[in-house]
Amino acid sequence: MIPKPHPLDMVANMPPGSEPEHLADELVLVGHVLQGSVIGLNPSDLYSGDHQQIVRWCLEQRAKGLPFNEPAAGRKFPSHSALIGDASVAAFEAGAPEGYVRLVSGRAHQRRELVRISVEAAKIRAAPVGVNGKPPFMVERVVASSIESKAIEWLVYPLIPKGAITSLSAMPGTGKSALSRLIAASLTRGEPLSAAIAGKPSTPGRPMVVDMIVGEESLEQVAVPQLRWLKADLARVNFLAHPTREIDLTTLHLDGIRERWKTDGVPDLLVVDPVSSLIPPDMDTNTQASVRQGLTGPLHHLVQETGVTILLVMHTKKGAAAGHGSLQETTMGSQEFVAGVRSTLHALVDRSDPEDDRVRLFLGKASFVKSYSYGCLYRLVDRGPALPPGVEWCGLTEESAEAFRAQVARGERGEGRTRPVDKAKGWVESALAQGRVEKREFDRLWLAEGLSEKSVSMARRSLGVVVSQEGRTWYVEHGPEGQGRG
């Protein structure tokens, strides 16, 4: 009789790329691996073909209007009572099989770790016995001279490093989604983004492919119209979705994305917008360990396996622009959203200055480009009440993030800043010093001065400036004393 190989040896000798949930002897294998203290997991943490059968049956029962609670599952799967009798019972009884799906699929990352650790455990079995009869801890020692140095590659210099995760956190109303689509549109056209930001001519490069996961906005009414207005090559933009339910960033869905890319090819950029609506509901976004295990860790595995570049679109905390705490601390949630990514971008706007509608985009965490201290400017473009806003670059600013945030803090306290209406009043007085001005020219001049229509209107009323008509021409002039209409 041929002896059956040890389960650990079975795992160690698996062909590369074998999926653990496809092993016929998975439950037997797990039982052997969990003997002793090789790994601190419970069988109920694992995702297997048996779980898949139960989930499929649950969904079929619900579609037929039949019960799919614990007693019914026990009758259908009498040999799998151990699977049914764990924490998933609550999901059955609550009538929410999706909860059971999430329970088991959320452990897929741990399941892959089990295979990796099983391989190490097989090595330990064959290793010499260590102190007190226990196997020694396996440590790999890599000589520095054997490691080849590699230069940083950029998808967008110096904002988005290639083959890494970048987070974009933005204040409400700054058009973070529109900005991510502006970046995507430029990439699909092969337009060097650094030149586009600076407003300089450039030679087109390779058109790139962008995949997007959109969690809040309508694709038909917002995302695609914005991309079309931004002149994106729509044939190079793909939206990732689940055919029957909303997609999120659980490991199960990341595995689905990985499988799709094996067929269709890996995109140059994956945009996740926004992270807050796509994270698993059981994740504590304020706890670093929870975010690392449920989000940044699996995303790093995806990057390492595929080489994709990821842009995470996120929210900032209240008061992000006013200089409270460091720039990295303005990102909403745990600091893992900053510590667990390669580069961070921060979109800030000065709410205390209605004259300036430009948004500052600053580079936050990026130790490899410390000398890059200036920011990029962009503004939203109003396209009417029934259309999503457009967005356009406004060049660069040499103002640092620290200087800008200090300025915003002073403006919010009313320090060191001339009120916009006072600035407009001074300009109106100067413009009409030599007498009346044709209204068309008057409007052209205040627009060129960078004033807002609201401030100019308030200044006119305050100064008693009126608009009058002579023939077919309209003029702006000082009205009779005491007259204050505009």
**Least trusted range by pLDDT, from 31-35, 398-402, 408-412:** 31-35
- pLDDT value, residue 412: 63
Residue 99 CA, distance from chain mean position = 25
Q: Is this structure's pTM higher than 0.75?
A: no
109, 249, 309 from 302: Cα distances, Å: 11, 11, 10
* pLDDT surpassing 90 at residue 173: no
Check residues 70 and 396 and name the one with the higher pLDDT: 396
- Residue 448 has a pLDDT of 84
CATH of domain 154-412: 3.40.50.300
Helices assigned H by DSSP within 166-240: 176-189, 193-198, 224-229
Please give the backbone phi and psi of residue 391, each rounded to the nearest 5 degrees, phi first. Answer: -150, 145
φ, ψ for residue 380, nearest 5 deg: -85, 145
> What gap in Å lies between CA 240 and CA 256, rounded to an integer?
10
What is the residue extent of each domain of the chain? 7-133, 154-412, 420-478
Mean pLDDT of the 228-240 span:
95
Give the pLDDT score at 159. 86
With 0-12 CB in 10 A as exposed, 13-18 as middle and 19+ as buried, what is 70?
middle
Beta-strand runs (E) in 293-366: 309-315, 343-348, 359-363
pLDDT at 34 over 60: no
Mean pLDDT within 416-433: 81
Q: What is the full DSSP assignment across 354-392?
A: TT--PEEEEE-S-GGGTT---EEEEEEE---TTS--EEE
What confidence score (pLDDT) does residue 256 get? 85
Q: What is the mean pLDDT of residues 350-360?
A: 79
CATH code linked to domain 420-478: 1.10.10
Express each pLDDT in 127-159 by its tens digit.
Answer: 555 555 555 556 778 899 998 888 888 898 878
Going by C-alpha positions, the residue among 116, 121, 205, 212 that lies closest to residue 157 is 205
- What confidence tier does 369 reach under pLDDT thresholds 50, 70, 90? low
Least confident stretch, 183-197, 314-328, 352-366:
314-328
Q: What angle do CA 315, 320, 324 make, to 5 degrees?
A: 140
Residue where the block lists tokens 């203290």: 37
Q: What's the pLDDT at 87? A: 42
4 burial (CB, 10 Å; 0-12 / 13-18 / 19+) is exposed
Q: What pLDDT score was predicted for residue 214?
A: 92
Measure Cα distances from 412 to 50, 316, 319, 348 in Å: 60, 18, 10, 14
- Token pair 């000082």 is at which residue? 478
103: how many CB neighbours lie within 10 A of its CB? 20
Q: At what angle do helices 297-306 and 108-126 cross, to 10 degrees?
A: 70
- Give the DSSP H/E element, type plus range, for residue 126: helix 108-126
207 vs 248 pLDDT, higher one = 207
Q: Are 272 and 312 in contact (CB under 8 A)?
A: yes
Give per-residue pLDDT as tens, 182-213.
Answer: 999 999 999 888 777 877 777 888 999 999 99
pLDDT value, residue 104: 52
Which tokens is 56 given?
A: 């499929």
Q: Is the pLDDT of residue 119 over 70?
A: no
Which range, of 10-24, 88-102, 202-216, 375-389, averages the lowest pLDDT?
10-24
